[in-house]
Structure 1
Amino acid sequence: IGIFAHVDAGKTTTTERILKLTGKIHKIGEVHDGESTTDFMVQEAERGITIQSAAVSCFWKDHRFNVIDTPGHVDFTVEVYRSLKVLDGGIGVFCGSGGVEPQSETNWRYANESEVARIIFVNKLDRMGADFLRVVKQTKDVLAANPLVMVLPIGIEDEFTGVVDLLTRKAYVWDDSGLPENYTVTDVPADMVDQVEEYREMLIETAVEQDDAIMEAYMEGEEPSMEDLKRCIRAGTRTMAFFPTYCGSAFKNKGMQLVLDAVVDYLPAPDEVDPQPLTDEEGNETGEFAIVSADEPLKALAFKIMDDRFGALTFVRLYSGQLKKGDTILNSATGKTERIGRMCEMYADDRIEIESAQAGDIIAIVGMKNVQTGHTLCDVKHPCTLEAMVFPEPVISIAVAPKDKGGSEKMGIAIGKMIAEDPSFRVETDEDSGETILKGMGELHLDIKVDILKRTYGVELIVGEPQVAYRETITQMVEDQYTHKKQSGGSGQFGKIEYIIRPGEPNTGFVFKSSVVGGSVPKEFWPAVEKGFASMMNTGTIAGFPVLDVEFELTDGAYHAVDSSAIAFEIAAKAAFRQSIAKAKPQLLEPIMKVDVFSPEDNVGDVIGDLNRRRGMIKDQIAGVTGVRIKADVPLSEMFGYIGSLRTMTSGRGQFSMEFSHYTPCPNSVSEKVVAQVKERKAAEAKK
């Protein structure tokens, strides 16, 4: 199961309480003390946010849970996405006073796309302004979810003491000791009886829709048995017809037991989830599936890699078969086999060694080589590939250099390890300047990476200003030709090509086709022409940014029986690219972010005015109880430092999330500025 929500809704505290109740921790760590079990990176403990998905195993009522605590911050959605891929079910945590916040919506959408069944837990009911039923309504209005209310709170804010279980009509009341086990089960408080009956009736009416026979009996006045009701709720939860909804206060240890019972009662077991599809080498589904059974050949997915104080760990979800210590397995992505040494169950930052694991388990394997996130591990005799994980392209980059000369090698090794751990983090070397460029999903993402390099690996860095990942494209079709001729004693080089370059469809990248007939350019040289054009797409002619969405058609040409070769045609294509792109009216493109801002009512005018000044296009405004949500498309270049401005405008109450949306042509003024900056940078590097 995964636990996910918005920053500060209380995911990590909820996870802590689950571990305490299941006996995996003796003293509870608090997030605000920087002591929680699943936040075990220094950066997490300091910032009070979860960056990596920590995986922990625990037991409740003879069921084993693998609990994954995911980050809520948008820069780390790759962690959420990666976790969803291996989950059978989840707990969506919402803040009782804050309700459905921008990031909750992104994570909820990801979970819907991954078809993960969920329970809703409305947390922090002891907070000022908490309102359970308001948050329930928001999940309907904002997330378009169908919450199935399973409990009602007794008291609210300071007076929140417990919950009424609608199915059993029993009240669970905790004392003020803060200990989860100190509760009593009593009858429903007299002033809540009518409300409990009203919500219980709604619960039963919704649940019985899952079974025609039970529904007919209910319509005729027969109350369904508890067993039948639970079966109906489980069926509807699995198909996401509704989401069983609970409430409590994880911090005060109230209401958590019912959530754990619900995980056992309603979330699907590994063999009840739709099996993972298998794919061919190109990533197309083959129509076969990884059946969840210990008797099948091994099929497992490496979904996370991390280095900790014990060495390299590969987190693996087993979909089919068994895995024993000493087994030899095949990595279908690399074609290499590997022997399994130590395997363990993870408990946040500790581990318990195990001898074997089977379908449905999440385990960590120690010291695997050549494995990356998304690789399939399988039986040597039954090679297969599970559906791959697709990660978003980075949109922001910074140049870094070690402060002292000796730090380069150390930095290189550290960055290599970090890339294996986080597929949305990339590194490149600038060909002209030789600088190391780090690329990521947002400012916070790169901040944390620099911090990890400094703290974990001891590499002190000089960090440049954040740079936007601009792109280039063309806007006009050009018919052209180019001849490459070189004669210098012995055999020469000759290749002539005639071609059309035209703007491609959006998001097609690079497209090559040949309409040559009659052998004027023999077929064996076509791949060389394609390779020549493709290799030039990395560097445009305006400011040297990668080129997007261009189609090249080879129409004619000429060759020489002796002097023509693949290399001659490749050189011709490279020179042709340079010659013709400049004629095709090239244009600079900038990344546009989908921005979702929450602002208190009083500050909406300021926030919208500020977004307009940042060249933002306001798409939607949704008024809520606690404020207004503003959705806008804004160029990334205008969003640097936005969190600071938003906090100032809203006295710290505003929140926002953003994700990459699309590329769009830059206005001339921006284009000129970017080109000037690139020239300045190159001139400064030339002086060095």
Structure 2
Amino acid sequence: CSALNGTASMSPDPADQEETMEAIFESVLEHIPSPGMDPNGTLQFQPALLDYNDYVGRIGIGRIARGTIHANSMVSICRLDGSVKQFRITKLFGFHGLRRIEVESAGAGDIVAIAGLPDINVGETVCEIGKEEALPILRIDEPTLKMTFLTNTSPFAGQEGKHVTASKIDERLYKEIQRDVSLKVERVGTAEEWIVSGRGELHLSILLENMRREGFELQVSKPQVIIREIDGVDCEPYEYVQIEAPEDCVGSVIEAMGNRKGQLQNMVHNDAGQVRLIYDVPSRSLIGFMTDFLTMTKGYGILNHTFSEYRPMERGTLGSRTNGALVSMENGKATTYALMALEDRGVMFIEPGTPVYEGMLVGENNKDLDLAVNVVKTKQLTNNRSAGKDNTVVLKKPRQITLEYALEYIDEDELVEITPVSVRLRKKILDTNERKKYDKRKRNEQ
């Protein structure tokens, strides 16, 4: 079988390979049974996904469990709160491959999309009028992680993005919650700040990457787990974690998970030299762990995790960054001369010629404290010193800052600046002197 060449055969011999995928098609027909649903019964349709269209509004996507559904017909919907409401199906879509096509009717077993009810939700049941019979409600996982979205306030605001205003961001987030039932958006404080809650770092980073590609420019804070009060006790989400790693890397992984309050549930060795580890871990311990995990396992590790339950909160800081940051104290463009002098201080995030501003993170400090540095400093030219002598300087390759890495890396007092062109790290307080005063007040309060 070769998906690349579009061929499949029942024989493992390459010489007997057919030139079509007919073998797979015939196997599907032979071994996979039909849905076995009643096309003549009363209608039952339950949306499992949502979508949104500017012309028809919210769209419910799911499989018809029973009966037949028709476009432009009046139907009832059994709501999540037990009430029943009637509405007209204005549009009915079927699916042909990856394309969505408009149809007049569809029967039991078909996957369709319907429009006509502006607030249709996942788990509700569409039925014939007078014959309402609700299907079991689908359980939707509640958000476990939240981030603050803000309009871009950096000195580079508006230079690289197409959509930069609060109204544009608000409109985009509203459209997203119409199609993503697990996403929650809450407007707080000023009109330029939103708390967006999702089911994990990946969920929120996909939204940010999509917005970035659409031309949006914004800032986001460090991801935080959602704390709930259960029976008067603060509780945090826990994750079921499954790790597969090479045997020679297992020691480092176990040590790292132990430091993050992970409880080892099981460990299994296989013949391929891989070890499977099962852990029970607080969700906040996994924030920022993926990059370290890939480094520990040299890129061969696989980590999967899913929400388990809420439990009493672990006290203390889990999985926080151990190194400080190198923070620019000037505006301008980074120079080779300045970066060469700072190489021994840590790992740089920028290269010569990169535009920087005061308060922007330009590297990681070797020590655990933040350090304000001047990366735009130029050589003082004299009769005996010329700029040409810097041409032979070879600097270490800077660390590439991706969106996923940035979300994992930042601390509580930092933000990620996201534009269609760049991903930058910055301090919430850009002014160096104001930041020092704030840090001093914070230490005195402790």
Fold conserved between structures, TM > 0.5: yes
2:52/2:178 contact within 8 Å kept = no
Letter in 2 for 1:663: Y
2:263/2:279 contact within 8 Å kept = yes
Alignment gaps of 5+ in structure 1: 1-9, 22-160, 164-170, 183-252, 272-291, 472-546, 551-586
Q: Distance in 2 between matches of 1:668 and 1:293?
A: 55
Residue 415 to residue 369, structure 1, CA distance change in 2 (3 Å) = same
Q: Map of 1:505-584 to 2, 5 A cutoff? A: 547-550=229-232
The higher-RCO structure (CA 8 Å, 6+ apart) is 2
Aligned residue for 2:239?
593
Aligned residue for 2:205?
447
Encode CA deviations 1:278-303: one digit per residue, 9 max, x unaligned. xxxxxxxxxxxxxx322222111112
Q: Map of 1:350-429 to 2, 5 A cutoff? A: 350-366=99-115, 368-403=117-152, 407-429=165-187
Q: Distance in 1 between matches of 2:203 and 2:113?
A: 25
Residue 311 to residue 340, structure 1, CA distance change in 2 (3 Å) = closer
Counterpart among 242, 259, 279 of residue 613 in structure 1: 259
Aligned residue for 1:463?
220
Deviation at 1:433, TM superposition (A): 10
Residue identity over aligned pairs, in percent, reads 27
1:400/1:461 contact within 8 Å kept = yes
| SS of aligned partner of 2:195 | strand
| SS of aligned partner of 1:389 | coil
| SS of aligned partner of 2:87 | strand
Residue 368 to residue 666, structure 1, CA distance change in 2 (3 Å) = closer
Counterpart among 302, 307, 321 of residue 47 in structure 2: 302
1:398/1:467 contact within 8 Å kept = yes
More moved, 407-416 vs 309-318 = 309-318
Q: Distance in 1 between matches of 2:101 and 2:218?
A: 36
| SS of aligned partner of 2:149 | strand
Deviation at 1:377, TM superposition (A): 1.0
Deviation at 1:464, TM superposition (A): 0.7
1:402/1:459 contact within 8 Å kept = no
1:372/1:420 contact within 8 Å kept = no
Encode CA deviations 1:354-401: one digit per residue, 9 max, x unaligned. 221111111223564221222211111212211111111221111002
Letter in 2 for 1:618: L
Q: Distance in 1 between matches of 2:313 and 2:118?
A: 44
Deviation at 1:426, TM superposition (A): 1.7
Q: Distance in 2 between matches of 1:401 and 1:327?
A: 43
The TM-score, its normalising length taken from structure 1, stands at: 0.41
Deviation at 1:598, TM superposition (A): 0.6
Aligned residue for 1:332?
78
- Check if 1:644 corresponds to 2:291: yes
Aligned residue for 1:293?
38
Alignment gaps of 5+ in structure 2: 153-157, 321-411, 414-427, 429-437, 442-446
| SS of aligned partner of 2:306 | strand
- Check if 1:260 corresponds to 2:13: no
Letter in 2 for 1:620: N
Say which structure is richer in helix: 1
| SS of aligned partner of 1:357 | strand
Q: How many residues align?
A: 311
The TM-score, its normalising length taken from structure 2, stands at: 0.61
Q: Distance in 2 between matches of 1:344 and 1:377?
A: 15
Q: Distance in 1 between matches of 2:175 and 2:149?
A: 17
**Structure of greater Rg:** 1
Letter in 1 for 2:309: H
Q: Distance in 1 between matches of 2:88 and 2:56?
A: 17
- Check if 1:270 corresponds to 2:19: no
Counterpart among 249, 263, 273 of residue 603 in structure 1: 249
| SS of aligned partner of 1:270 | coil
Residue 353 to residue 662, structure 1, CA distance change in 2 (3 Å) = closer
Counterpart among 623, 628, 633 of residue 280 in structure 2: 633
Deviation at 1:589, TM superposition (A): 3.1
Deviation at 1:659, TM superposition (A): 1.5
1:620/1:632 contact within 8 Å kept = yes
Letter in 2 for 1:455: R
Structure 1 stretches (4+) deviating beyond 6 angstroms? Answer: 431-434
Q: Distance in 2 between matches of 1:297 and 1:465?
A: 50
Q: Distance in 2 between matches of 1:614 and 1:295?
A: 56
